[in-house]
Structure 1
Amino acid sequence: MPPPASTSSGRSRITRRLGCLAWLLMPFVLLWALAKTPEWINDFELARMADRVKAYPRPPGTTLGDFGPQTKVRGGDSGDCRYTIRFGLDVDLPVEQVLNHYRQAKIEDPDGRLGDYEVSAWALVNEPGGEAAEDSAPSSLIIDLDGTLNGGLDLRCM
């Protein structure tokens, strides 16, 4: 009667095959991580700016809206990235007063410059067919901070 087959040799063969597969895939994983690193760095810098925007004192009579700051990066020209940081505010003030507050703010952008961005606002008006008076205060605003950052090797910016 032959001795029972050892299962350890079967496991080691599978383990060896998986190890070889991992070694074969390693260059591709490293290349992918190398290509994504500039994107991760830019996203990190934008997240830091979004935190600075959130921590910046809001105008009196305003509170943060239903969602926190959101960031978006898109291609620009000559290797620069265009970014947008968007956040909502519940307001009791006229739109121009809120815009002036953020236009005068000196919040450091991802490139280390102070106030190097444009500010715009989206007002949600609940009057169908009518227009709100220029000095009236909407109940909520969406604020956009738009600027550029040096894209470096970020593939989204090329």
Structure 2
Amino acid sequence: MKFMVMVKADKNSEAGVMPSEQLLADMGKFNESLVKAGVLLAAEGLHPSSKGARVKFSGSKRTVVDGPFAETKELVAGFWMLQVKSKEEAIEWIKRCPNPMEGESEIEIRQVFEAEDCGAGFTPELREAEEHMRRQVQAQAGARS
């Protein structure tokens, strides 16, 4: 099972304040433990919303709204992608994580949809197209390495 684990933003991350050297070292050790266990697929921090944008959809109309966005508690400051056996295992890993923010912080854990979760509408033809696209992405990632 794949899980996206999202670190919620706070006023400091939204202001572009970088983590302390100690937090970066602690996070590095935590990430290394995820790698050694074979559960880490990706891990990245995100720039503040002031450097981002949102695209709003209304029928065929698209509207772009540039950041910053007001509600920091709804924003994501970084993420991990984990491959684990259960939500409980993902929770156990994240409970070992250093506190990613000064003071209080929140980390959200959400399961990623897999092909078998999509039901009958995800036909064999659509599955094959999806698998082909994933193979292309992996090949491109390998070529960039």
Give TM-score scaled by structure 2 length: 0.39
Higher relative contact order (CA 8 A, sep 6+): 2
Larger Rg, first or second structure (1 or 2): 1
Give TM-score scaled by structure 1 length: 0.37
